[in-house]
Amino acid sequence: MSYFKTAILLAGMTALFMGVGYLMGGASGAMIALVVAAGMNMFAYWNSDRAVLSMHGAQPVDPRNAPDLYRMVGELANNAGLPMPKIYIMDNPQPNAFATGRNPENAAVAVTTGLMQQLTREELAGVVAHELAHIKHHDTLLMTITATIAGAISMIAQFGMFFGGNRNNNGPGMIGQIALMILAPLAAMLVQMAISRTREYAADEMGARICGQPMWLASALAKIDNAAHRIPNEDAERAPATAHMFIINPLSGRAMDNLFTTHPATQNRIAALQQLAGQMGAQSNAPTRSAPAASGFWNGGQSRPRGPWG
């Protein structure tokens, strides 16, 4: 996905934010909206990683308590030409992962215990490579900004109900205010979804190239998607604004969440990876199952399943 189209989508969201501000308070409302957006984005730039990790109860790990995972991330980061990111583990039964941080020098990769317990070493490598691709593309900052602006649009649209809109009687009126309160956040969500979906395809492709085996990631996506429909992620349910950061929508276990998913259809992502595997001369079927990754990555490396990083 080209960065030009992503920039257009971001510009559209920013214009929507200022447009809502204008309808609420005229030119001064648009200016206030711009100032609020700038302040929120500045805060998000410096603090988004810590805030998101805290929301999901992520705990840092190092070579002493997760040696295999640490070594895997280090080698994949080297393949990607990235500095070593910080590594976090979330005590959550749903297999999932996300990356965060304002730039590659201040990045973090977080994986759930469910991911390490249910995926093979090869599949876990595919997931980690996908998250490193987001870091290399600077997607982690992009997603945080879109989430911040989307939240601000919802906030300012709701404020309009209390302050009555433009004082010069050019506002949308009571019915228009109600419609705006509903439609403005919806429009922001649609733009946010479009940005998120385009970046997922790009991260899938680069992640597959980083680990060298597209089908490792394809197999992981199939497993994670299946588990997400069966195993709820309670931390994500309490912070739904972060759902787009995960490799698979963590809210998909709830029927309502499927109406406005932030991710492309998993089947389409797998199909794209299968096509890439063919182009790379890789085998276009799922990797042979090996020992679960959990024993090597979570229990201090005492029992290491065999694999390319074992």
Q: Which residues are catalytic?
A: 131
CA dist 114 and 142 (Å) reads 27
Q: Where are the alpha helices (DSSP H) in 56-91?
A: 67-80
Half-sphere exposure of 38 (CA within 13 A, CB side): 6
Contact (Cβ atoms closer than 8 angstroms) between residue 206 and residue 277: no
Tokens (6 digits) for 169? 């009687």
CA dist 70 and 66 (Å) reads 6
- Burial of residue 65, with CB atoms counted within 10 A of its CB: 0-12 exposed, 13-18 middle, 19 or more buried: middle
For strand 107-112 and strand 86-90, is the pairing parallel, antiparallel, or unpaired?
parallel
